[in-house]
């Protein structure tokens, strides 16, 4: 599946942008058949992690994983060896957070599309998305305060996520003065295989069930913001 679940507790772990990007990516990978004390055992190259987390150097990945290890979230296992004696892929035991107290859904396809700071904001919006009201309405100040980022940076990154087609931003007008915009609401874009035959009229962009002709990397993957597509998550 293109969607996986992350525990709401990920934002209580006090991870920086690189740490949360790497940890979320490791959580998104299917575990091997072996398990260690119930943790997910993942075999993946550090260069692959770097490419999917928007990190330039595998050395930075190694340092990030060391910090995750110190926080008890990742444990190094024995590195595999190739037939010629050369060292192979790293294996990690990833401590998965419990989802029984609440979780949110994340698209696997976003890995490789975002920098760590963009990933941090994107994951927070995914967590904040209400499956009852079908949008996210956190203010710039609220997002900045909860993820430890400057408001100016949040505003910039929100714009980048909108430009990338990963979220849809809708401005709401004040009830007492329709000329004044009071806050932003966001829809999370999901990807589904298929083909959209007819482009929706522009006036439907304010709707919570929007179809757009957005294709990522020239593949036949359409972006869908839908009341019915978002899976129901656990308790908030």
List, for residues 21-33, the tens digit of each pLDDT value: 999 999 999 887 5
Number of H helices and number of E strands within the chain?
Answer: 6, 11
Same fold, 3-94 and 129-225: yes
Q: Is the pLDDT of residue 211 over 50?
A: no
Q: What is the pLDDT of residues 46-89, one digit of tens each?
A: 999 999 999 999 999 999 999 999 999 999 887 766 666 666 78
Which residue, chain included where needed, has tokens 């957005």?
Answer: 214
Predicted confidence (pLDDT) at residue 139 exceeds the cutoff of 70: yes
Phi, psi angle pair for 19, to nearest 5°: -65, -45
Helix (H) or strand (E) holding 41: strand 39-43
Least confident of 6-15, 65-74, 195-204: 195-204
Domain range summary for the chain, segments of one domain joined by +: 3-94, 129-225
Give the pLDDT confidence score for residue 1 in this predicted structure: 53
Q: Which segments of the chain does DSSP mark as H helices, in order?
A: 17-28, 46-53, 58-70, 116-128, 140-147, 151-163
Beta-bridged to residue 35, according to DSSP, are 40
CATH of domain 129-225: 1.10.10
| Per-residue pLDDT, 7 | 93
For the chain, give the mean pLDDT. Answer: 76
Domain 3-94 has CATH 1.10.10.10: yes
Confidence of residue 218 (pLDDT cuts 50, 70, 90): very low
Q: Residue 144: its pLDDT value, please?
A: 94
Q: What does the pLDDT read at residue 125?
A: 92
pLDDT at 215: 33
Residue percentage of the chain with pLDDT more than 70: 67
Q: How many CA atoms lie within 13 A of 63 on its CB side?
A: 8
- Do the Cβ atoms of 104 and 121 come closer than 8 Å? no
Q: Nearest to residue 189, comparing CAs of 219, 216, 152?
A: 216
Q: What is the pTM of this model?
A: 0.76
What span, in angstroms and rounded, lies between the C-alpha atoms of 5 and 103?
A: 6
């Amino acid at each position: 599946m293109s969607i996986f679940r992350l525990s709401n507790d990920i934002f209580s772990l006090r991870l920086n942008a690189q740490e949360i990007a790497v940890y979320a990516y490791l959580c998104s990978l299917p575990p091997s058949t072996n398990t260690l004390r119930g943790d997910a055992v993942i075999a993946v190259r550090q260069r692959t992690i770097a490419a999917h987390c928007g990190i330039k150097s595998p050395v930075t990945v190694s340092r990030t994983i060391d910090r995750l290890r110190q926080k008890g979230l990742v444990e190094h296992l024995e590195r595999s060896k190739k037939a010629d004696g050369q060292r192979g892929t790293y294996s990690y035991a990833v401590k998965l957070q419990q989802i029984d107290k609440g979780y949110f859904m994340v698209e696997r396809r976003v890995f490789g599309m975002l920098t760590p700071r963009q990933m941090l904001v994107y994951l927070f919006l995914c967590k904040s998305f209400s499956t009852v009201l079908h949008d996210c309405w956190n203010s710039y100040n609220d997002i900045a305060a909860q993820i430890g980022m400057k408001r100016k940076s949040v505003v910039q990154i929100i714009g980048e996520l909108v430009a990338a087609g990963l979220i849809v931003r809708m401005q709401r007008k004040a009830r007492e003065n329709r000329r004044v915009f009071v806050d932003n609401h966001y829809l999370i874009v999901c990807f589904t295989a298929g083909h959209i035959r007819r482009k929706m009229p522009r006036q439907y962009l304010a709707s919570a069930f929007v179809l757009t002709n957005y294709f990522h990397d020239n593949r036949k993957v359409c972006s869908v913001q839908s009341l019915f597509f978002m899976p129901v998550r656990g308790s908030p």
